[in-house]
Amino acid sequence: MNNSVMMKTFCGRANPTTGSLDSVEEGEEYDYHQEIARSCYADMLHDTDRNEKYYQGIRAAVSRVKARGERVVVLDIGTGTGLLSMMAVTAGADYCYSVEVFKPMAEAAACIKKKNGFSDKIKIINKHSTEVTVGPDGDMQEKANILVTELFDTELIGEGALPSYEHAHLHLVQPGCEAVPHRATIYAQVVESEQLWSWAQIQPIQVEERTLLPPAAVTQCAGAPSVCDIQLSQVTPSAFTNLGPLCAMFSVDFSTPVSSTPQSHSCRFVVQSSGRAQVVLSWWDLDMDPSGSIVCSMAPSWTYSDPREYPWRDHWMQSVYFLPAERSVCEGEELSLTVCHDDYSLWYSLSAGEQSDVATPCCTCQAHLLWTRPRFGELNDRRRRESYLSALRSILRPDSVCLSVSDGSLLPIFAHLLGAKKVFSLENSGMAKRVIEQFLEANSLRNGVQLLEIRPDQLTSADVEEEQISVLIGEPYFSTSLLPWHSLCFWYCRTALSRLLRPDATIMPSSATLYVIAVEFQDLWRIRAPCGTCEGFDVSPMDEMVQRSLDFRESREAEPHPLWEYPCRALSQPCSVMTFDFLQCVPEQPISSQGAVQLTGRGRCHGVALWMEYRLTDDITVSMGLTQPASEEGACVWSPHRKQGVYFLREPWESTGDGEASVTYSITFDPSIGDIKMDFSVTQA
């Protein structure tokens, strides 16, 4: 056997659509291609504000070191494409050590530095910075006197910035070194927001004359500890009420030794408006120099006097933190907001007095582990819920034997309250079963719904008390779904349950339709746009690597994105491209569809958005994509509860809006794997 040939291995992974265990190619090469193809490096390179501020800070730091008469040695941790290292050398640095742990990125950085003529002054070190050594035989010949890093995420410290800085100051840089950025400051503001709070807690639900209450274990739970990172600019100021001022919670000086030990910081403030303290909005700034004259801010667009000056970015967004419990506050009241952090995460609490060492929030009710934040919002959506209730009212009868198939759904409880004779619910996990049991017990409905932790293909007549199912329902919602068509898992479940359904059984939803629409993105296109050059440096080798990674796949794929966070304009009418009939079983043969979507809007077509709409009854449909027709200007309003699919064209197309150009499509649903292969391109008439 040729040892130079990379061996491929396969591992079993649950298929999100079929529910089966599939063999998936696994190995170093496959993983690298996946990581590169999915990376959003282009967003960072297209972030002009970020790049300019870093360049200004690096030039200033190099000047300060040279003014002291010292040789300028730079350590760049997390170099990525090597852009910041090239900036440093161009600014006059004598030598730069560039550390990058991800092998493909390190290889790309090596190509980029060579292409730009920096081979003699930049050394790429393919290691984690904590493994780098200094000395005659080490990775670095000498300690650096300028530390340049880009180790930050939306939460600032979530990528391990603090331990990396701590190690660097102990082992890799000189005492009193310059740092770019010089410091970071985290800001926070307490607000009341029904919209945001609906992502954290289930609200009481009215079903006929009955009010369905959330379990006390859920309402009293502090929730999941993970940050909710979003494009806060897309949450309008009318959606929340500021209860206090914007507080500077704490700063980290990166030019001095940094500690990664857990810490807490408090800020006292006077309540500006009475209300319910529920949510903390947070973001941070970077001071690129000691004087604070070069600032890179993550503040949302509505904090700008001119929102057009807002520098859009997706690699850094803003954070939403949910307080452990909502608290009524009165105008003029003095409170203390406390932030705590460990190596990687932050959490907040609010009290009348000083606090310290507030325990890390931990979900004890399991609902916050079962449901994502968008799922909480979906369950709290009154309009959506009324669609399902109206559909259930029209199909349920006093003798209905109902079976629900979704993950952690409240539909079976609704079916019982609406008068079904018997209700069974298949739950895919013990956690889902326990969460729904809590709802049943909290509302004295324990005997109203029988919960079954059984796979659909294993369900027997004995499990449903020898009853034939007359009504099969689903939202459909499955926790493993990422792309819109992954919820076709409901179709596979319906097929597996056919033997238990009455011949005249009602299926809700009865069908699903896949829709597409051609769009121009305001900003999201940046994550896939080639860069070519950035700040005068040629970074095209990275573009080439990403393209090879995309070509590594048999066909191009759609990506899941929550489009409510990413404004776009419709350049065509919505077009239904494929319908899946749930009244029939999943077919054995593939389903294919070809056609064209006429470009009727003027603008730059970056690609298409895809979503599913479910037909509950003849006159009730719920959309997981557009929630209303696009405006005359093409503005789109997307469901905030589900991610839509986005297929980026290889090259943007300038649409004149005269209908002479169309986006042609070829779509094939392969029932054997439950996936959709697709191809889109623009043709001119």
Residues that are catalytic? 150, 159
Name the residue type at position 481: S
Q: Under 8 Å CB-to-CB from 238, ≥6 apart: which residues?
A: none
Kindly report the three-state secondary structure assignment for every residue of 221-272: CCCCCCCEEECHHHCCHHHCEECCCCEEEEEEECCCCCCCCCEEEEEEEECC
Buried b (16+ CB within 10 A) or exposed e, 205-239: bebeeeebebbebbbebbbbeebbbbbbbbbeeee
Q: Which two tokens stand for residue 467?
A: 């009853």
- Residues 674 and 86: their CA atoms lie apart, in Å, by 46
Place of tokens 């050059």: 533
Cα within 13 Å of Cα(211), Cβ side? 6
- Residues 464 and 117: their CA atoms lie apart, in Å, by 72
Strands 575-581 and 173-180: unpaired
Q: Under 8 Å CB-to-CB from 78, ≥6 apart: which residues?
A: 99, 100, 101, 129, 149, 150, 151, 159, 164
Burial of 479 (0-12, 13-18, 19+ CB in 10 A): middle
Nearest CA-CA partner of 346 in 480, 156, 502, 196: 156
Cα within 13 Å of Cα(170), Cβ side? 13
Strands 247-253 and 533-534: unpaired
Question: Residue 212 in 3-state DSSP?
Answer: strand
- Residues 267 and 246: their CA atoms lie apart, in Å, by 10
What one-character-per-residue DSSP string does 630-683 give? PPTT-B--B-SSSPEEEEEEEEEEEEESSS-EEEEEEEEEETTTTEEEEEEEEE
From residue 594, alpha-carbon distances to 261, 296, 557, 663, 681 in Å are 58, 47, 17, 11, 12
